[in-house]
Structure 1
């Protein structure tokens, strides 16, 4: 007599082996950081790595979603930034013991592992072979999309867990017997709510993907959709209730919270995928040539599919089963949306308007960077590869029913030699996709050094050179604040938000002191058309008590700062410190 839990127990070692293999690949790709987890950050650029590190440290220091530690006195809204508070809590033990940079690096290594594991789980009701599911999950975990965001230091996007989790839940909601709609709805709501605590743009992408899948299935099977509608309505109510309960506050901060942007963040064309990227591999994959210029930065050039993936999609659409055709349809719709409102080829617009135009005036949705929908495209490609590798002699298609050994669901089998040939063709196509998506040994790290400034405890600090969003070194002063255990506040910062004089900011606004410092540094003669008294009044109005001049400061900047503050300055902790008195005697 076979015990009911034996199959589950037998699957545990296989699942652990799958996770271990993903972890081994991730560690191998990021091995350059292993010798210096506290002093180096994963990624070719420093800006976003610094930003994520700051937020991880901030969450471990104080769990607040509105803070004035940057952009004092207005502050910043965490939910309009890449604060990843859920990860901040999960990684807090590492932050407390080894520091925020180590926590960031560990998060970057684990992100693809958890994402790939979620994808392998999601395919449990779709793909029969455990090996095929493991390969498809690995393809998703180390897809060109994921590799590109690893290069850019995008911690929020390499934790791409929600799309596959929604796929697994959607299969239970839309395809399997809907026996417990309230429970499934609550689980879906919990997944969405947790994503709200991780990164809201991926939440929006996940909701769009779920709607696309529901639309495709409703069009393909209208009678079945109508029959399931009552159960889906109950699941929807449970989903919305769970989201409101678990993520009501962060969603409030997005919609009506303080210090949020008061207008469009970017041009509508920003964040559009480049059509050339679909067939042009970049240096993140092993097989690549000279990469031409393309729309977007290096972190947004992860949309490579290649001829093998496109051919596999065409074959699946023509001769594949229902699951394959649904994956192709959803992937194709997401791919079109990822191209944004206008078609770009090699950085140039070609005058073709695209469906994203219809979303440009939808509140909040319009703020999504369309290129981020590529995560749905690569997930659809991973599903196709999983189906292609799934037992070529017994392909689950629209034929005689056969019960799955793993999931207990009823499958179908395409009989005869014709089915076997199609199966092996699918295996060949899947293998070619794997070959063309193999990651290159191109992952890099950047220095993440900092200097503690204990003498600034309790102060509000203006920093020169100013904190900017430049990818290389722009927000480095944030690391000094972390090293000082947030002992002082910064009048500037690197963030998305606003202040009373600027409805939209991507970094702190230029102020009179900074304008004067830039003038004397670049054009020291003749006398600068700047007003030191006005600059001093502005500093006092914003509550600044110290001006900190770091780096190889020019004599002209030091002289200007002395005139503004009325202080001779003091060399301390590797920088010039100028105190700003409450009143100045001139």
Structure 2
């Protein structure tokens, strides 16, 4: 921490001239600030209140349509993710009330179940907010997680920047704004709260830096260990991405002051050991469950999903400058606009890096932004949808443990704190230069520099200003579920949707949660093992009958049904321990109805707005 304070000119009055000199100079450790100074660091100022209020207001603005339609609204671009996440929040609350293990559940993918620790169930939010889920429903918890995530991340970075990096609260607010409301954050706010609630990460980074100069290694190590453990329960993948980001930053920064860096690492070894022990003591069993427990999977294969270079320079969909044109060729889906920084911001980052190059912090931030941006491009450089054949560094990491399950495009999120640091440092310098100068000519030049900085800052950030996320009416449960008619058809078996519940159609998860998990369902939306190598797969392992019904839904035609097909259907129903098959309104539902009639040898009946096949006698 003292090195950073010396770097940015925030040393207490006891600092010497040497400490503020050339970037390569070795700083002299300042005296510890008095208690009054330490307390003042945590006391909120009017600027703090203004910044926090603005961040909260902006987060509510982004999600106000969801807040206004909690009972009937569904985020348009979330795909089926909102159904999945609300189920995660609901099942965590259900597990607590019924004193069940929250790490796993057989309420979907019946009878095999789901390893919830391996499914980003976000226990760090779902368990503390279980009372909210039980009282107001999972949609409130979902909207709250996204709102708290956006605002909390911005506030956390603002707090760290304003207390430890820059002297200007406005400069810190600019950095916090970028961290909390960057295009990737808004994109993930459509359905990925684990990639929005990143408010612990700046404090983890701060804790690591602090150990390098701490006189209280045990205390600070315990605090860091608690933060890391909590982040594991908020989101492991963001922790991995940002850990790599901080490592790159730290290594580049250490190259500017190697002796100081080595001394800091040696000094912090006891604290790091304590932090690791604390984090491991808390998270060891859940992590064991994730990697070795029931329904664990070895790795999640997703194919190449690196960013297109054009995506990095383009504007995001949900922004003032967002183009209405189809952006599907530049992203995996609407929740994965992980780059989309826009060319003005990229240009400002590049100029900032050059302007502030003498500062080790700026050099480290610039190198980090470049490194994480290149990693996010994947194994092959792609420009405007065309592969160039140029192999990139991600090829070295793609098959390594842990990294093999990460979507490489998400490493662009590591650019965000680096960019925010550069903008905060640049804004801080521009403000300082506008108030200094020995002569009128010098003052005019510095004010011109400040004017140019703030003009381009506006040009870079205003087009990226987020717009409210779009909401559409939610598909309401048919009366078969809503009125509890299902109770006449379910004993101790499962409900099988036609076609089977999957990542493409997970609405039954919502209807199940509304009925207080009174019945388990076959299939669902989750990540689980599939195949002989137990590789991760979205949704259940495909069974022949599930594939048959999906083909009918897709094509509107029924393949030939013979005795072998019927026997396979009976075997699959026995595997699912099915009590009833239910067909709600969907594409090609008439053909699906006839297909099920032929498969099970039982004519469906129209009940509660659905077609129902009672297969308890068949199974």
Q: Identify the TM-score tier after normalising by the shorter chain.
A: 0.7 to 0.9
Matches within 5 A, 1:113-262: 113-123=151-161, 124-150=163-189, 152-173=190-211, 177-262=213-298
Q: Deviations over 1:463-511 (max 9, x none)?
A: 10221222xxx11111111111111111211111125768342112333
Matches of 1:458 and 1:200, distance apart in 2: 35
SS of the residue 1:281 aligns to: coil
| 1:135 shift after superposition | 2.6
1:439 aligns with 2:462: no
Task: Answer yes or no: is the 8 Å Cα contact 1:189–1:238 preserved in 2.
Answer: yes
Matches of 1:39 and 1:463, distance apart in 2: 22
Q: Deviations over 1:255-305 (max 9, x none)?
A: 3222122454221x12x1221122111322212445663142222224123
Indicate the residue corresponding to 1:507 in structure 2. Answer: 539
1:488 aligns with 2:527: no
Q: 1:109 to 1:443 in 2, by over 3 A?
A: farther
Structure 1: gaps spanning 5 or more residues: 397-414
1:539 aligns with 2:578: no
Pick from 337, 340, 343 the counterpart of residue 304 of structure 1.
Answer: 340
Matches of 2:465 and 2:590, distance apart in 1: 52
1:579 aligns with 2:614: yes
Q: Deviations over 1:447-478 (max 9, x none)?
A: 253343441364312110221222xxx11111
SS of the residue 1:390 aligns to: helix
Q: Deviations over 1:65-97 (max 9, x none)?
A: 111111112111112213112211233222111
Task: Answer yes or no: is the 8 Å Cα contact 1:571–1:577 preserved in 2.
Answer: yes
| 1:171 shift after superposition | 4.0
Measured on the aligned residues, the alpha-carbon RMSD in Å equals: 3.0
Instruction: Give the TM-score of the pair, scaled to structure 2.
Output: 0.82
Task: Answer yes or no: is the 8 Å Cα contact 1:261–1:503 preserved in 2.
Answer: yes
Aligned length: 558
SS of the residue 1:389 aligns to: helix
Matches of 1:554 and 1:291, distance apart in 2: 29
1:276 aligns with 2:310: yes
Indicate the residue corresponding to 2:510 in structure 1. Answer: 479
Structure 2: gaps spanning 5 or more residues: 1-34, 97-101, 435-441
| 1:579 shift after superposition | 2.6
Matches of 2:465 and 2:238, distance apart in 1: 25
1:21 aligns with 2:59: no
SS of the residue 2:78 aligns to: coil
| 1:163 shift after superposition | 3.4
Pick from 387, 395, 412 the counterpart of residue 349 of structure 1.
Answer: 387
Matches of 2:473 and 2:273, distance apart in 1: 46
Task: Answer yes or no: is the 8 Å Cα contact 2:299–2:405 preserved in 1.
Answer: no
Task: Answer yes or no: is the 8 Å Cα contact 1:67–1:77 preserved in 2.
Answer: yes
Instruction: Give the TM-score of the pair, scaled to structure 1.
Output: 0.87
Matches within 5 A, 1:2-13: 7=40, 11-13=44-46
Farther off after superposition, 321-330 or 64-73? 321-330
Farther off after superposition, 202-211 or 51-60? 202-211
| 1:125 shift after superposition | 0.4
| 1:359 shift after superposition | 1.0
Indicate the residue corresponding to 1:340 in structure 2. Answer: 378
Matches of 1:341 and 1:379, distance apart in 2: 23
1:468 aligns with 2:502: yes
| 1:5 shift after superposition | 7.8
